Amino acid sequence: LAQPAPPVRHHTAPRAMSAFVAQLARAPVATVVPESLAVAPRLSSAGVASQLTSGFALGTAGVSLAAAAAAAATRRSSRASAGSRAQAGARAKAVVACRAVPMLHVGIVGYGLVGKELVSQVLANAAKLEKDLGVKVQITAVARSKTMVLLAPGGDSALANGAWPSGEVDADLSKLTDFVLAAAKASGGRAMMVDNTASDAPADMYEAWLAAGAHVATPNKRAGAGPYSRYEKIMAAARKGGSRFLYEATVGAGLPIVGPLQTLLKAGDEVTKVEGIFSGTLSYIFNTWKPGMKYSEVVNDAKNKGFTEPDPRDDLSGTDVGRKVTILARECGLKLELGDIPIKSLVPDALASWQPAAGESVGDGFVKQLEAYDAEMESLIADSEAAGEVLRFVGAIDLKAGTASVKLSRYPKDHPFAATQFADNIACFETKWYSPRPLVVQGPGAGAAVTAAGIFGNMLEVMNGMKNTSA
């Protein structure tokens, strides 16, 4: 809209002024809108614009404020009709409607259980979020291991109920990235990439995504616990691109562990120790296992209930817990590599490289081999019970010593770790503020629904930052 013209003094005789005002009233003029609204002028031949107030601009070139003020005075002298007021109200509503609603364009990499659950949560809540936050969220592209679909605007409804839309092409993360970034640029919104895989390939792209201004949210631990040099580059790229690297779901799925730790550190608290049970699988095993029960049978029960990976050694080795501890240690400022952390494996040395026979299930075959070690493991559970303690598989970070570890430890039965149930995760933060009793976070730490909820929570953080306060 044109800026207001400087005041001009007119010495026109009253009769000449009346003629001028009459002529102005018959001329088309621009609807008056606030300067803060970037809306093109809409011409109307209905008459002079409404009363001018401070901060409003008249969009018709060549008409002085003095003439407009005179016209407004003439208009005020007559009684406004109800129709005119209604028309003004309609125009005001139209102006507000013209305001662009910011949009978050999301690219999904990994469309398995977690990916489908995440999309389901987003689609179910998108309309409410737009109403509450004034921000739209749209799934713009989805990729599986070998194929991907680049969706048309508003086409994410084709993903409802875990469906895979038509129009798939060979998966190419570079092309998918370009498509999501272009969609965000076209709408004036922001881009976000969500990596639901456990692969290094997407993690290798985080640096480029973040530097290009795309936010990244992920449950994938490869970046946070991978080579420290890559981790540093990812963090630097986020600062450079004005974007955010969000990874709440890497440690406790949907359980808030990373977020509270970040808040404590930013607020100035001094964290001295972090200790927790960070594996739902191992939590279930040690919550279930009691004296008199065979260890191999408990592991088999966990396998049959879907708690373990197809090869239970992936859980029993403790490496997954080690990755989570590495992520938390780096969050606290320790420059540790995964290899720097001693990890107590629950896989007998003789079975570490064992391979199943042809046609044999690796899970079933491993449990059968594990039976030979039941007596050895029975002594561990019996000794802890005799001492009035419980066995727990724990990850720990000692900030004073600058070290971290993953181990099988014994705890008294009044310790928070002894109160875990089913497949709970739990984290204890010992800090300057939370002492002598630690801050404890406990709850479900595994499963597609809670993992997707953790990612969705990170998406909501970004949407809150985009919030349209006029909505």
- Taking alpha carbons only, the member of 145, 127, 147, 146 closest to residue 137 is 127
Q: Residue 33 — very low, low, confident or very high, per pLDDT cuts 50/70/90?
A: very low
CA distances from 466 to 125, 209, 342, 463 (A): 17, 19, 42, 5
Q: Residue 30 — very low, low, confident or very high, per pLDDT cuts 50/70/90?
A: very low
Residue 306 Rama label (left phi>0; alpha psi -120 to 50; beta): left
Distance between CA atoms of residues 159 and 178, nearest Å: 21
pLDDT at 11: 44
Q: Which of 136, 221, 303, 324 is catalytic?
A: 324
pTM of the model: 0.78
pLDDT at 22: 47
pLDDT at 31: 37
pLDDT at residue 1 tops 80: no
pLDDT at residue 61 tops 70: no
pLDDT at 10: 43
List pLDDT tens digits, range 399-441.
999 999 999 999 999 999 999 999 999 999 999 999 999 999 9
Mean pLDDT, residues 50-78: 40
Phi, psi (deg, nearest 5) at residue 270 = -110, 110
pLDDT at residue 394 tops 80: yes
Q: Kind of pairing, strands 103-109 and 56-57?
A: unpaired
pLDDT at residue 452 tops 90: yes
pLDDT at residue 110 tops 50: yes
List pLDDT tens digits, range 7-17.
444 444 444 44
List pLDDT tens digits, range 363-373.
999 999 999 99
Active site residue 290: no
Distance between CA atoms of residues 375 and 285, nearest Å: 17
What number of other Cβ atoms are within 10 A of residue 110's Cβ? 23
CA distances from 235 to 216, 228, 242 (A): 11, 11, 11
CA distances from 192 to 77, 95, 212, 252 (A): 56, 30, 11, 21
Please say whether the beta carbons of 286 and 391 come within 8 A: yes
List pLDDT tens digits, range 197-242.
999 999 999 999 999 999 999 999 999 999 999 999 999 999 999 9
Distance between CA atoms of residues 336 and 227, nearest Å: 9
pLDDT at 89: 52
Please say whether the beta carbons of 215 and 193 come within 8 A: yes
Residue 6's identity, in one-letter code, is: P
Distance between CA atoms of residues 28 and 46, nearest Å: 7
